[in-house]
Amino acid sequence: MKKVLVTGAAGYIGSHICRVLLNLGYEVVALDNFSRGWRQALELLKSENSSLKVVEADLRQAEIIKKIMLDERPDLVFHFAALCSVNESMHNPYLYFSNNCQGTFNLLEAMRLVGVDKIIFSSTSAVYGEAKSLPIKEDQMSEPVNPYGESKLLIEKSLKWFGQLYGLNYVILRYFNVCGSSSDGYIGDSKKPSQLLVQNAVRGALGLEQFHFTCPHVPTPDGTPIRDYIDVEDLIDAHLTAADYLNNGGQSDIFNLGNGQGYSVREIVETVEKVLDVKLSRQADQTRQGEIAEIYADVSKAKQILNWQAKKSLSDSIVSLVAWYKRYPKGYDY
């Protein structure tokens, strides 16, 4: 594997993997439409490494994507480009099916036409819906309860058919909740406000913005949703491991990515308070829609087949976020 295409490269996770790939010596084609991603993230990386090529394009523009694929002919695609707000998807499902699904269908067709046959897909635990048993395994029936999860499930199904009909080799990685930044605080989550709990709690603890509870009351021990949290650097390590797995002849498959442990919203807030020695407001704000009560991962399959498991603790993620927000308190472009 010498050249890789990264879609959604200017986003939170995409920019992290671009940096790691460049440091490992790969030629990276970074594709983004910059509707949600940040140009400054890629400008920083390009200043470090000239092997980064930035391409501005929208996956919904089928002919343009075909030309890019034909011109670049990557050995493998890391596909991160997607809208990912559960709450937003409940208010605008069309946007999610158009952007996430149609964009991916165009990408897969371009890969087929050019003969690019390997892809690592960024999926989500939202494909499961409410957990039938915990920890949740990859073989649980998928019944999403929001358009975001449904859009990702439709993409998973399309990957299966492109695999069966055209020989596409894929790994689907179902993320649980991602947190943290690069350990040195160089790149991170620049959304303002972030959609992610740990990020928002750290920003609140640092006095960068007011922290609010936006979760619904649910039937858990403390009444707040329970989720599995994984550090972004552990997540990137899993993607590289999955790429090696495919390049060494591994069969197409689906893997959960998480720590295998559930934390409630209140437990996350209390951990941030403990690490930073502060007290956060418990003020409630507008409740987000489409949230489930409790879900955390069974990660035994990734450990057994990919020989991967998360290494960083929740406290590690909080410390890295402090470094990131001290460097960029207002995010990129300031």
Q: Are residues 222 and 250 in the same domain?
A: no
pLDDT, tens digit (0-9, with 9 covering 90-100), for 255-301: 999 999 999 999 999 999 999 999 998 777 777 777 888 999 999 99
Residue 185 lies in a domain: no
pLDDT attached to residue 148? 97
Could you give the CA distance from residue 55 to residue 110 in angstroms, rounded to a whole number? 16
Instruction: Give the chain's domain count.
Output: 2
- Is residue 148 among the annotated active site residues? yes
**Host domain of residue 151:** 3-178+231-257
Q: Are residues 86 and 220 in the same domain?
A: no
User: Tokens at residue 130, please?
Assistant: 């409410």
Q: Are residues 39 and 171 in the same domain?
A: yes
CATH code at 322?
3.90.25.10
Is pLDDT of 1 > 70? no
Q: Are residues 217 and 120 in the same domain?
A: no
Average pLDDT over residues 99-104: 98
- In 3-state terms, the chain is what percent helix, strand and coil (to 5)? 45, 15, 40
Q: Are residues 203 and 89 in the same domain?
A: no
Residue 110 lies in a domain: yes
pLDDT, tens digit (0-9, with 9 covering 90-100), for 103-147: 999 999 999 999 999 999 999 999 999 888 999 999 999 999 999
Which of 12, 96, 128, 148 is labelled catalytic?
A: 148
pTM of the model as a whole: 0.95
Q: Are residues 248 and 290 in the same domain?
A: no
Q: Are residues 20 and 83 in the same domain?
A: yes
Arithmetic mean of pLDDT over the chain: 95
pLDDT band at 334 (very low <50, low <70, confident <90, very high): low
Residue 175 CB-half CA count within 13 A: 24
